[in-house]
Structure 1
Amino acid sequence: MKTENQKHIETYQNLIKLSCSGRTIDRYTSIVSKYLTTVGDPKAATYAETLKFIHTFKSQSSKKQAQGALMHFYKGVVHRPDLIPRLPKIKQAQKLPEILSQTEITTLLSSVKNLKHKTIITLLYHCGLRINELLNIQIKDINGTNRTLHVKYSKGAKHRMVPFSLDVLLLLRKYFKQYQPKNYLFNGQNTLKYTASSVRKFLHKEVSKLHIIKNITPHCLRHSRATHLLNNGVDIKMVKDFLGHFKIETTERYLHLTVQDLQNQIDQADTKIFTLQIAS
C-alpha cells in the first residue's frame, strides 16, 4: 500500500517528465523526496520550514534547484499558492567556464587514438552537445544524407536539428564500421548506453596527456565550440539555435569569453612590444 507521500512523488515525476528529462528528473525527484521526509505532510508545511530546507543546500546553484523543484511541486501536485510567490528569487553567480583554444581543440582531436573516444569528443565539440544529449543519441537520429543530428532529450525537453560537417560524417562511418552500434550510438561495455562518468574519465586523461592545465569537462567542449563560432563571425542568433538556448542572454555570456580572449592576445603582444622598446 503506497503512502500519501509516495503517491505525491509518483505524481510529481509524471508532471516534470512533461518538461524535463534524464538527470534533471532524478535530481528534482530526489530534492522533493528529501523535502517530504523533512516536513512530513506537505499540506501542513510552513513557509519557515520550506525556506529552512532550501538553505540546507550549500551552493547557490543547488539552492536554485531546490527552489525550482518545490515550486513545481506546490503548483502541480499539492496546491499551496501561499508558499510559491514568497520563495525568494535566488541569483546565481555567473562563472565563466574553462574553454580550449582552437589550437588546443585541433591538437586534442588529432591526438586521440581510441576511435570511440575520438568520435565522442568530436561530436561533443562539433555539435555543441550536452553530455546527456550525446549519450541519448540513437542511430535513427542521424541523417547522413542531410548531415544533420536530431538532438532529443535536451534541457527543457527541447528538440533541435544540428548540422555537422563532411569530416564528421566520414568519422561516424568509420566508427559504425568498427563498432556496429545497436539502438544507441554509444554503447557501454556491459550497458545499453555509455556513461557520463566514463566520458569524463577518458577526456580528463586525454587532456592531461597534452599537459593542458585546465579543468576540462565534456561541457567545456560545448562552451569552446560556442566561443569559437562567435570568434569567427557566426551570428549570435544562429549560435543560440545551434546550442538550443531558450534565451539570447544565455548565449551572450560567450561574448565575454571572446573579449577575454582578445585581452589575453593584447597582453601577450604588449609584453613583446614593451620589451622591444626597453631593449632598444
Structure 2
Amino acid sequence: MGVSEAIEKEASRRRFSDKTIKTYQKCVERFFLWCKKEPKYVTKKDVHEFLEKMSERGKSGNTINIYLNALKFYFEEILRRNFRVDIRYSKIPKNLPIILTKEEVKKLIDNTKNHKHKIMVALLYSAGLRASELLNLKLKDLNFKEKYGFVRQGKGRKDRIFIIAEKLERVLLQLSVGRNKEEFLFINNKNKVYSISSLQKIVEKAGKLAGIQKKIHPHTLRHSFATHLIENSCSVSEVQTLLGHKSPEATMIYLHTAAPNMIKIKSPFDRL
C-alpha cells in the first residue's frame, strides 16, 4: 500500500476531515521527495533536518507544525514506529487578526437591513461560530430551555456547544415556529441553504453601510467574540472551550488582540 493510500485509509477510519487528509498526504509526500529514503530507513534526524530546512526558508511556525503532525501520524499511527519528535515551533502569526470593537459590532448588526440576515450576523458574533457552522445549524441543534445550541461535526469533525444569547432567544424561537426540526435553521428564498459566499456578501454590505473602514468577513465576528470575552476577564481555557480549539495555543492569540488595559496580569515590579 502506498503512502498516500495508507494515510487516507487510517485518517478516514478516524473520521479526519477531507481537508486534513489531503494536507497530511501532501506533507508526507513532500518529505519523501526531499528525503529520498524508504520509510523503514527514515530516522528522527531526517525529520529534524527537514523541519529545520523549512524554518530556514522562512516557513511559519504553524506550517512547520502541520508537517510535523503529518509525519508523526504516518510514522507513529500507521507504521507503529516509536518516533517521538518532541519539538514545537511558535504559532503566533506575524499579522494579528482584524477585530471589531464592541461599538463596531453593534453598528454592523444594526446596518444589516434584512431581518433574517440580521439574525445570522448577530448569531455569528454572539456564539463565535465559523461561517460553515452557522450555515449547517439545524432547528434540532437549538436547546432553548437550557439556552445553548450544538455545533455538529465542526472543524476536526468535533461536536461542541455554544451559547444562545438572551437577546436572540425570542427571534430564534420565532424563526423556528411550525418548522420541521430536521430543517436547516437558515434557508434562502429558494428554500436552499445559504452559501458561504452569500454570507460573506451580507457581512461586507453591512460593513460598508456601517462605515467600518476595515476589511471584514464572517470570521472577523468570531475573532471579535473571542477578543471581547478576554476583555471581559474570561480565561483562555473558557474561550478555548467555546471556540472548540483543540489546543490553548490557538486561543492565546486573543490575548494579543485584547485591549492591553483589559489584560489583568500585573508585573511583579508593581508590587515591590
**TM-score w.r.t. length of structure 2:** 0.71
Equivalent of residue 12 in structure 1, options 10, 13, 26 = 10
Deviations 1:104-143 (A, max 9, x none): 1111111112344323221110011233432332221111
What's the counterpart of residue 89 of structure 1? 88
Q: Which residue identity is paired with 2:39? A: K
3-state DSSP class of the match of 1:85? coil
Deviations 1:17-40 (A, max 9, x none): 2xx446444544554566678879
Matched, 1:68 2:69: yes
TM-superposed deviation, 1:78: 2.9
Q: Distance in 1 between matches of 2:71 and 2:188?
A: 35
What's the counterpart of residue 259 of structure 1? 259
TM-superposed deviation, 1:148: 1.3
What's the counterpart of residue 77 of structure 1? 78
Check conservation: 1:135, 1:194, Cα contact below 8 A: yes
TM-superposed deviation, 1:222: 1.6
Q: Which residue identity is paired with 1:76? A: E
| C-alpha spacing 1:79/1:38, structure 2 compared with 1 (3 Å) | farther
Greater CA drift, 137-146 or 47-56: 47-56
Q: What is the 5 A alignment of 1:1-280?
A: 4-5=2-3, 7-17=5-15, 20-21=16-17, 23-32=19-28, 43=39, 46=42, 47=46, 51=50, 55=54, 58-81=59-82, 85=85, 88-94=87-93, 95-176=95-176, 183-187=183-187, 193-234=193-234, 237-246=237-246, 250-260=250-260
Q: Distance in 2 between matches of 1:81 and 1:214?
A: 48
**TM-score w.r.t. length of structure 1:** 0.70
Structure 2, unmatched stretches of 5+, are: 264-272
Greater CA drift, 36-45 or 208-217: 36-45
Q: Which residue identity is paired with 1:92? A: K
| C-alpha spacing 1:67/1:234, structure 2 compared with 1 (3 Å) | closer
Q: May I ask how many residue pairs the two structures share in their alignment?
A: 257
Greater CA drift, 143-152 or 185-194: 185-194
| C-alpha spacing 1:247/1:85, structure 2 compared with 1 (3 Å) | closer
Deviations 1:204-224 (A, max 9, x none): 332233332223232221221
Report the aligned-residue RMSD: 4.1
Q: Distance in 2 between matches of 1:37 and 1:114?
A: 53
Greater CA drift, 92-101 or 33-42: 33-42
Deviations 1:71-96 (A, max 9, x none): 212222234545x527x532223443
Q: Distance in 2 between matches of 1:136 and 1:183?
A: 10
Q: Which residue identity is paired with 2:79? A: V
3-state DSSP class of the match of 2:259? helix
TM-superposed deviation, 1:68: 1.6
Check conservation: 1:64, 1:90, Cα contact below 8 A: yes
Q: Distance in 2 between matches of 1:236 and 1:89?
A: 20
